[in-house]
């Protein structure tokens, strides 16, 4: 459980970090909270020659809220997301989901940037960002660009981020309507057996807006566009809900692991989606 040797850098601004990344190409890796990266380094599952610590870069830390627009620096820790009252007021689902990540020790160090950039389908934040239709700001040697969270993930640990790009912030519009993030796990500190988030608004008895996303039920987070299409503009009844759940489960593609076989995970997916829908509707 000892990583192979690496050189450590701690730049104090994003340009320096980007230029280090450009210099070393795929031999370099940024480290944020280290709670996904260090375990794989210790198991020598990845060979990193140059480690660039982002914790000295203040410009990518903190939460900014202007009107309805929320922007979160990549180096904001999960505990900061939980403790920020302004954020809770305007987007309570962030706290609800963050509290279901790992345990307090992990959340004290783990960052939102590391969580979404990692590309691990088991991470909760990527699913949440599907739900919120967030935008990721990436900075690389070719400048800064925006990528939609819904277009960011390509496969397990594969994203559209270029090797020399660093995620600097995540922004989204404050959601409105009822919300819920439901996660089944084996114990505290475990990734999801299945998790689902729902944000949904009901006006004049009709579902006027909706978003549904899944965590750890495919090799990427799943935005359930088909289910959303089914529910939008409809009056919500059991029949619609059943169709919505079916459409979500249809879009899932889990793999077997120690949490259980595929058949079980798909079944539980249906249950957590149902719970999330029910709670979100209750909160409208």
Ligand X SMILES: Cc1cc2nc3c(=O)[nH]c(=O)nc-3n(C[C@H](O)[C@H](O)[C@H](O)COP(=O)(O)OP(=O)(O)OC[C@H]3O[C@@H](n4cnc5c(N)ncnc54)[C@H](O)[C@@H]3O)c2cc1C
Q: How many CB atoms lie within 10 A of CB 144?
A: 13
Q: Is 4 in the site for another protein (CB under 8 A)?
A: yes
Rg of the chain in Å (alpha carbons):
19
**Segment 134-193, which members bind ligand X (CB under 6 A)?**
166-167, 189, 191
Taking the least distance from each CB to another protein, the nearer of 45 and 143 is 45
Q: Is 99 in the site for another protein (CB under 8 A)?
A: no
Which of 70, 101, 199, 224 touches ligand X (CB under 6 A)?
101
Q: Is 94 in the site for ligand X (CB under 6 A)?
A: no
Q: Supply 274's token pair.
A: 């149902």
Position of tokens 């619609």?
A: 240
**Segment 260-279, which members bind another protein (CB under 8 A)?**
260-261, 264, 267-268, 271
Taking the least distance from each CB to ligand X, the nearer of 75 and 198 is 75
Among 61, 80, 85, which Cα is nearest to 71's?
61
Q: Are 2 and 42 in contact (CB under 8 A)?
A: yes
For ligand X, how many residues bind (rule: CB under 6 A)? 28
Measured distance CA(42)–CA(280) in Å, rounded: 40
Taking the least distance from each CB to ligand X, the nearer of 123 and 251 is 123
Measured distance CA(136)–CA(31) in Å, rounded: 18
Q: Are 274 and 246 in contact (CB under 8 A)?
A: no
**Segment 186-245, which members bind another protein (CB under 8 A)?**
186-191, 193
Q: Near another protein by CB under 8 A, which window of 2-10, 77-85, 216-224, 246-254?
A: 2-10
Measured distance CA(172)–CA(246) in Å, rounded: 28
Measured distance CA(210)–CA(231) in Å, rounded: 7
What are the phi and psi torsion angles at 209 (to 5°)? -155, 150
Among ligand X, another protein, none, what does residue 264 contact (CB within 5–8 Å per kind)?
another protein
User: Which positions lie near another protein, rule CB under 8 A?
Assistant: 1-2, 4-5, 43-44, 103, 184, 186-191, 193, 258-261, 264, 267-268, 271
User: Which positions lie near ligand X, rule CB under 6 A?
Assistant: 29-37, 54, 74, 101-102, 106, 110-111, 113-115, 117-118, 123-125, 166-167, 189, 191
């Amino acid at each position: 459980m000892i990583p192979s040797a690496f050189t450590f850098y701690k730049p104090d601004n994003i340009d320096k970090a980007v230029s280090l990344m450009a210099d070393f190409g795929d031999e370099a890796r940024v480290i944020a909270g280290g709670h996904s990266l260090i375990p794989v380094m210790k198991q020598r599952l990845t060979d990193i020659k140059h480690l660039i610590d982002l914790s000295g870069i203040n410009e990518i830390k903190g939460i900014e809220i202007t009107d309805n627009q929320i922007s979160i620096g990549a180096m904001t820790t999960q505990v900061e997301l939980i403790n920020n009252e302004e954020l809770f007021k305007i987007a309570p689902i962030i706290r609800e989901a963050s509290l279901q990540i790992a345990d307090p020790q992990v959340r004290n160090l783990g960052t939102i940037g590391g969580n979404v950039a990692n590309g691990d389908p088991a991470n909760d934040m990527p699913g949440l960002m599907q739900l919120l239709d967030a935008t990721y700001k990436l900075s690389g040697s070719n400048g800064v660009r925006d990528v939609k969270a819904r277009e960011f993930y390509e496969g397990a640990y594969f994203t559209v981020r270029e090797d020399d790009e660093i995620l600097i912030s995540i922004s989204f519009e404050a959601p409105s309507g009822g919300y819920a993030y439901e996660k089944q796990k084996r114990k505290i500190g475990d990734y999801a057996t299945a998790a689902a988030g729902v944000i949904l608004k009901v006006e004049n008895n009709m579902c006027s807006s909706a978003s549904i996303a899944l965590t750890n039920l495919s090799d990427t987070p799943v935005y359930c566009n088909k289910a959303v299409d089914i529910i939008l503009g409809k009056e919500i009844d059991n029949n619609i809900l059943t169709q919505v759940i079916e459409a979500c489960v249809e879009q899932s593609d889990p793999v077997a692991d120690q949490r259980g076989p595929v058949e079980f995970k798909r079944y539980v997916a249906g249950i957590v989606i149902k719970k999330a829908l029910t709670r979100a509707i209750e909160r409208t």
